[in-house]
Structure 1
């Protein structure tokens, strides 16, 4: 009998009990002690296959200064992910990489917090990427991009499949489009057809319109809605022309703004099949309000400036007067990237909504535009609404937005539960240089010392640590 088999038999006997098994208790315990030590005591380490690691490549990148390393040590000790992202952004902005002694800590943080990976990858440098390649759990940071085999891409798990298809689109848009068109016809499962359509988002162009129009006839809601979302991103598509025709027929300009024509398509509650094909099927574009929003979301803001013969400011003001302002402007907000001047549209859309709808609207805007919109529309807001909106703005804010929002907070009355305490989101996400220059204003307006003030001090140290390198940059 082998040692392992004898050990297993002894354990079974021990579980049953010496009396029931008909063995001597002392003898059974002696066997447990001897066999347990033989089976598990001080095993020799396994022999590793392969040779030694290759020598690390010579790193030529400039390293962050000692002051920045000290700040990084404080940041990692406090586990502040927002501040770590800011540290990585400042290092990248001046062309520096992390010191090799901090690389394992940064790689571990990126492994446990996937949201940090993009920021961490930017400061790893040659040495960091080499280090990531020697440990499996750090492989996400390896810069090498594997070749895409399209024949096997559809068999990969969901995230890996999407990454492979999008990477192929970036490298060969036309060839990948032909592959995706063929795959769309072959895939019986809706989730696979939706993945095919979603891959077109990488390098989306008017050449993809034919395949997307085919996908609009798909019976699966997810496939149809994904195709519609991408078609709405094309400024001069067939979808945009159909939507422009419906807006022209369904709305007319009155003394109160754009209103529904009494004898046209939007006087009927249910859409005809052709219009329904151009609307989301997830339930968000049902009823007359939803149908108007869907049509507005399919045309670029330039449609309204051309129709009114005005600029973006006047056109946004005209839509804001409409009885259907919320529907029209929420649709326009989805196409702000196509506007000549997006700010008046964003401000008008936000003003036409209330409460949580305003916050949901702001969450869809680009960072800088969202900050400028909050500054513009927050004059009549209360503290809680302003604080909630600011918490959705990614850090760090621009200097202009920080100065304006500092003024907004300072002019407001603090809620009783936070009287005398500075707004946390302002100190942790605002521009450190602006906040540092207004330190006396902040401490006089909010005299209660809080941990956020310590974070601001740390952010000012971070700014000072990289200041000499910012001056050297062209």
Structure 2
């Protein structure tokens, strides 16, 4: 019995998981006094704690583990491995994550000498652990299994290993995510069997994972979640149900929307709801909004209208006008309700992760909504739209930087060119220190490595303040590191 087994038994209680002293090391077993399971568990824990502190001299001899299976994938070469060692030492997460992504796409595994440091960082940084999964190789997974704090990185937890019953929330989320990709039916069976025993946080995370492989069979899991005590769980369930056009939720919300917004020859005629019944509140109304209260500086009826429209499947509107999202947005709206409808459609596009609607709404969206809409789009489409917005001219430097911040690295050449041109055409006075630092930090971490010469030209501009030039030099150093490992990982593959 390992220390982890003892801890798990203590957490679950000996009534649910009886203490089994036959699993203790042979030399320790006779030292556990007879008695009730709870007391014997504590005695065993005390003995095993002492044995662990003195490296288990009383335990059974430990056999050497089987060697790791050989890696068929080539390892990172000397230059790339040296860069990785520097990134692990400085813990520059954006660069480290990009390195691991590029290495995985290049079909490489991390060289043996860099594995311990990578596992150390992954033990405390979930994003790094997830990104490293594709480059650990057999040797890295073998090594991770040898140390307790590295072990979660060794392999995905399996249901047969007790990962679902006894695992942590992280273990369960990882398992559910994998099952949603490989066997959605098995994932539904897991949730149905133990839904009532989950914590509020777990229910919220599990509902979010249902977005992968979402289908009509998930409706019976999502519909009850609309009544969950946790608002985030209710919101996630509603957003996913809206993506199921045949669901009862989609039918209910479409009927409510039809009662509020009719389409005729003159366009959309809007009649905001005078009130909402209990079923409607369960489906669409934000928690904590009482009649007579004016949330978000809008009237109550306008607020209810926005909620009803935002909860409605977007396919209802395209079917209503027999056209695309752009066609719906072009329909005239009476009574000055167009801003409310556009805001509601934008909320729906984000919640339902609808790229066609997000793409149609981005050009005219307000700054805070635009960032959420861009996040719905795939990186290439997002980069193209942001590049177009920059070329057309974004008057505010902070707004332009916010757009760039929402585009992941590495940027496309088109976006890199637009970002550099936008940076060059602006003046960066001494008072803009924070803004110029953020902009140049983005350029260093996200420009295509091939555009380093253009960044160097900007750094040499005589009009730059000393502070701006220092930020530009730092950005150039970062871009040089990125260019170095992109090149090193693109070299012809060598045998491991």
Q: Mark yes or no: TM-score above 0.5.
A: yes
Aligned equivalent of 1:275: 280
Q: Is the 8 A contact 1:383 1:415 kept in 2?
A: no
Aligned residue for 1:104?
A: 116
Q: Find the aligned partners of 2:165 and 2:399 in 1 and give their Cα distance.
A: 45
Q: 1:457 aligns with which of 468, 476, 480?
A: 480
Identify if the C-alpha distance between structure 1 residues 315 and 442 changes in structure 2 by more than 3 Å, giving closer, same or farther.
Answer: farther
Tell me which moved more, 308-317 or 205-214. 308-317
Counterpart position of 2:62:
50
1:333 is matched with: 349
Q: What is the match of residue 59 of structure 1?
A: 71
Q: Match for residue 146 of structure 1? A: 158
How many pairs are equivalent? 417
Larger radius of gyration: 1
What is residue 134 of structure 1 aligned with on the other side? Answer: 146
Which SS does the other structure have where 2:103 is aligned? helix
CA distance in 2, matches of 1:256, 1:377: 32
Find the aligned partners of 1:210 and 1:45 in 2 and give their Cα distance.
51
* Alpha carbons 1:190, 1:222 under 8 Å: kept: no
User: For residue 210 of structure 1, what is the aligned residue in structure 2?
Assistant: 220
Partners of 1:360 and 1:338 in 2: CA distance:
12
TM-superposed deviation, 1:175: 5.0
CA deviations on 1:289-322 (whole Å, 9 max, x unpaired) are: 4433433344444433333343333434448992
State the Cα deviation string for residues 361-396 of structure 1 (Å, max 9, x = none): 555655444444433445334112222343343322
403-412 or 284-293: which moved more? 284-293
- Secondary structure at 2:85's aligned position in 1? helix
CA RMSD of aligned residues (A): 3.8
Within-5 A mapping of 1:60-79: 60-79=72-91
Structure 1 position 414 matched with structure 2 position 437: no
* CA spacing shift, 1:59–1:392, aligned 2, 3 Å: same
- Map residues 9-408 of structure 1 onto 2, 5 A cutoff: 47=57, 49-143=61-155, 145-148=157-160, 153=164, 157-167=168-178, 172-174=183-185, 176-178=187-189, 180-181=191-192, 183-184=194-195, 200-217=210-227, 221=231, 224-252=234-262, 258=268, 260-261=270-271, 266-268=272-274, 270-283=275-288, 287-318=300-331, 322-334=338-350, 337-340=353-356, 342-345=358-361, 347-348=362-363, 351-354=364-367, 356-359=368-371, 362=374, 366-378=378-390, 379-408=393-422
Aligned counterpart, 2:446: 429
**Bigger relative contact order, structure 1 or 2, given CA contacts below 8 A and separation 6+?**
2
* Structure 1 portions without partners, runs of 5+: 1-42
Change over 3 Å in CA distance of 1:180–1:65 after alignment to 2: closer
Pair 179,76 (structure 1): closer, same or farther in 2 beyond 3 Å? closer
Relative distance call for 1:189 and 1:113 in structure 2 (3 A) is: closer
Residue 40 of structure 1 is matched in structure 2 by none
Does the Cα contact within 8 Å between 1:257 and 1:322 map onto a contact in 2? no
C-alpha distance in 1 between matches for 2:372 and 2:407: 12
1:104 is displaced (CA, Å) by 0.9
Offset at residue 139 of structure 1 (A): 1.0
Alpha-carbon distance change, 114 to 157 in structure 1, aligned in 2, over 3 angstroms: closer
1:95 CA displacement: 0.9
Three-state SS of the structure 2 residue aligned to 1:427 is: helix
2:119 and 2:199 map into 1 onto residues whose CA distance is 38
Pairwise CA distance, 1:218: 5.5
CA distance in 1, matches of 2:54, 2:352: 65
Comparing 101-110 and 302-311, the one that deviates more: 302-311
Q: What is the TM-score normalised by the length of structure 1?
A: 0.74
